[in-house]
Amino acid sequence: MADHPFILEMNHISKAFPGVQALDNVTLKVRPGTVHALMGENGAGKSTLMKCLFGIYKPDGGDIRLDGETVAIASSKDALAHGVSMIHQELHPVPFRNVMDNVWLGRYPLKGIGPIKFVDEKKMLADTKALLAELDMTIDPHVKVGTLSVSNVQSIEIAKAVSYSARVIVMDEPTSSLTGNEVEQLFKIINKLRARGVSIIYISHKMEEILRISDDVTIMRDGKLIGTWPAEEMTTDLIITRMVGRDLTQRFPERSNVPGDVRLRVEKLTSPQQHSFKDVTFELRKGEILGVGGLVGAQRTELIEALFGMRTIAAGSIEIDGKRVSIKSPVEAKKHGIALLTEERRVTGIFPVLSVLENTSIASLSQYRNGFGLLNERRARMDAEHNVERFRVKTPSVKTLIGNLSGGNQQKVLLARWLLTDPDILMLDEPTRGIDVGAKYEIYTIIAELAKQGKSIIMISSEMPELLGMSDRIMVMCEGRLSGVVDGRAATEEDIMRLAAQRER
């Protein structure tokens, strides 16, 4: 059993949806005790392949083998029974229950007489402690999961997978909401799992991570397998080239924007909450891209949400074009020409059951209203179609539900939504998170073009190359305070890290 060269084989998997060949004869072979990176642009078929592995989709052809034996997996429960587990990008714990309830959810240890069973809390506690200790996790089993950080919730999910004696764990963008330290922590856990002979299928867009942690790299494009290579033979450029199928000599577009007069002046802005932003002062010019760097917990999102009227402020002032303004709601922010592309696309961005057209026009409906209060749908549709074309949104039509598009395309639609409100100040919170390389470049191009037109842009990003590659200036925050502003073209990653990690004394 253990001597089989591959713990998991997915051979010649094909899957078609009406009008799309989502997977075309894809083969993935994972060696035991390795980290296997699965890469490809959004829409390349990674998720579809994983959904076939978990029985969410039934492949049209091909077979799945574990330790050389063909298995039939019809549901994630079957997969779990075969020792195949998944850590999703977006975690769904039961927030009001504690850590051990979450770990043993659905299979609580029972005790009792005859048919009368009670949950054996004692055993559950002991088992949880043992499990967490084994993985060097220091999390209190009694704490409610809703109060934990994303990183800890993820650790619990991993522990849960281990408790199912998982042999293959799929991790989908596991570091997308982790800070630098937390990533290190995750890598430690991954190394421990690898040492135990567990295989990890690691799905990520972050090249640096992939090259550091993985043993093998499999690249997919347009539903097809491009190939599998040992990680040490790969470089960032090589991966990108193979993923996009063309040479991407540049990851960032040329920018020709020229920052002008001051448009926004924020003075000593302070949150009423103790641990949130404090005394933040900065300026934003016309036609400027201002990057905002910092670790998770730096309160960057909180700061721009306050500027957008989603959070209250205790002190400080906001001036737009020299005039002091008070912004108490997104409605008012919109009136002052501010737009916000939020970090959590699914939670605060898209309307999944509505069409691309409706998602595009929803923030600017009043401009389509005629004298009778009726909407001019034809004009809204033309605008939406124009934007779909301009941003190269891949969608069959503007009537398609946005929920059916890939993340990158959803993000472009959201960007279009805000541009239709004709904002002067565009605030982007992690605009390229979870988006593939090709779409990223397109979004960068749009941002650069907007700055050139004179729009002022604030861009929060946790990706250093993005901050450095796109910003005119970068302001770095640390624990709610502004720790420094650096020139985007002259600064280095080290400069930003130093400011981001600067602890208050």
The residues that touch other proteins, with contacts defined as CB under 8 A, are: 17-18, 56-58, 308, 310, 330-331, 333-334, 340, 342, 347-354, 358, 361-363, 365-366, 369, 373-375, 377, 417, 421
Token representation of residue 117: 């069973």
Are the beta carbons of 148 and 138 closer than 8 angstroms? no
Give the shortest CB-59-to-other proteins separation in angstroms. 11
Which is nearer to other proteins, 413 or 447 (by Cβ)? 413
Q: Which is nearer to other proteins, 61 or 68 (CB)?
A: 61
- Residue 203, by phi and psi: left (phi above 0), alpha (psi -120 to 50) or beta? beta
Smallest gap from residue 340 Cβ to other proteins (A):
7
Q: How far is the CB of 364 from other proteins (least distance, A)?
A: 9
Q: Which helix (H) or strand (E) holds 241?
A: helix 236-244
Q: Is the CB of 20 or the CB of 501 nearer to other proteins? A: 20
Report the residue number, 278 or 417, with the smaller CB distance to other proteins. 417
What's the closest the beta carbon of residue 419 comes to other proteins, in angstroms? 13
- Could you give the count of Cα atoms lying within 13 Å of 76 in the half-sphere of its Cβ? 11
Contact assessment for residue 39 and residue 208, using Cβ atoms and an 8 Å cutoff: no
Shortest distance in whole angstroms from residue 471 CB to other proteins: 24
**CB proximity list for 277: less than 8 A, separation 6 or greater:** 269, 270, 271, 299, 302, 303, 306, 477, 480, 481
For other proteins, give the closer residue by CB, 33 or 330. Answer: 330
Cα distances (Å, whole numbers) of residue 505 to 21, 364, 501: 58, 46, 12
Query: CB of 328: closest distance to other proteins in angstroms?
Result: 12
Identify which of residues 38 and 52 has a Cβ nearer to other proteins in the complex. Answer: 52
Tokens standing for 76? 């994630």
Of 51 and 278, the one with the shorter C-beta distance to other proteins is 51
Q: Do residues 61 and 22 touch, judged by C-beta distance below 8 A?
A: no
Least distance CB 204 / other proteins (angstroms): 24
- How near is the Cβ of 405 to other proteins at its closest, in Å? 15
Nearer to other proteins, 114 or 373 (CB): 373
Least distance CB 344 / other proteins (angstroms): 9
Residue carrying structure tokens 């912004």 = 327
Task: Report how far residue 204's alpha carbon sits from residue 41's, in angstroms, rounded to the nearest whole number.
Answer: 10
Shortest Å, Cβ 369 to other proteins: 6
Q: Decide whether 154 or 359 has the Cβ nearer to other proteins.
A: 359
The two most distant CA atoms of the chain are separated, in Å, by 79
Task: Decide whether 318 or 437 has the Cβ nearer to other proteins.
Answer: 318
Q: In the bound complex, what is the minimum distance in angstroms from residue 43's beta carbon to other proteins?
A: 17
Q: Which residues of 221-246 are buried (b: 16+ CB within 10 A; e: fewer)?
A: bebebbebbebeebeeeebbebbbee
- Strand extents, DSSP E, 216-308: 216-221, 224-230, 262-270, 280-285, 289-293
Give the whole-angstrom CA distance, residue 264 versus residue 321: 6
C-alpha angle 28-435-389 in degrees, rounded to nearest 5: 115
Q: Taking a C-beta distance cutoff of 8 angstroms, is the pair 418, 339 a contact? A: yes
- E strands in 156-198: 168-172
Q: What is the dihedral of CA 454, 459, 464, 467, to 10 degrees?
A: 10
Residue among 308 and 441 whose Cβ is closer to other proteins: 308
What are the distances in angstroms from CA 141 to CA 107, 119, 193, 306?
16, 16, 21, 35
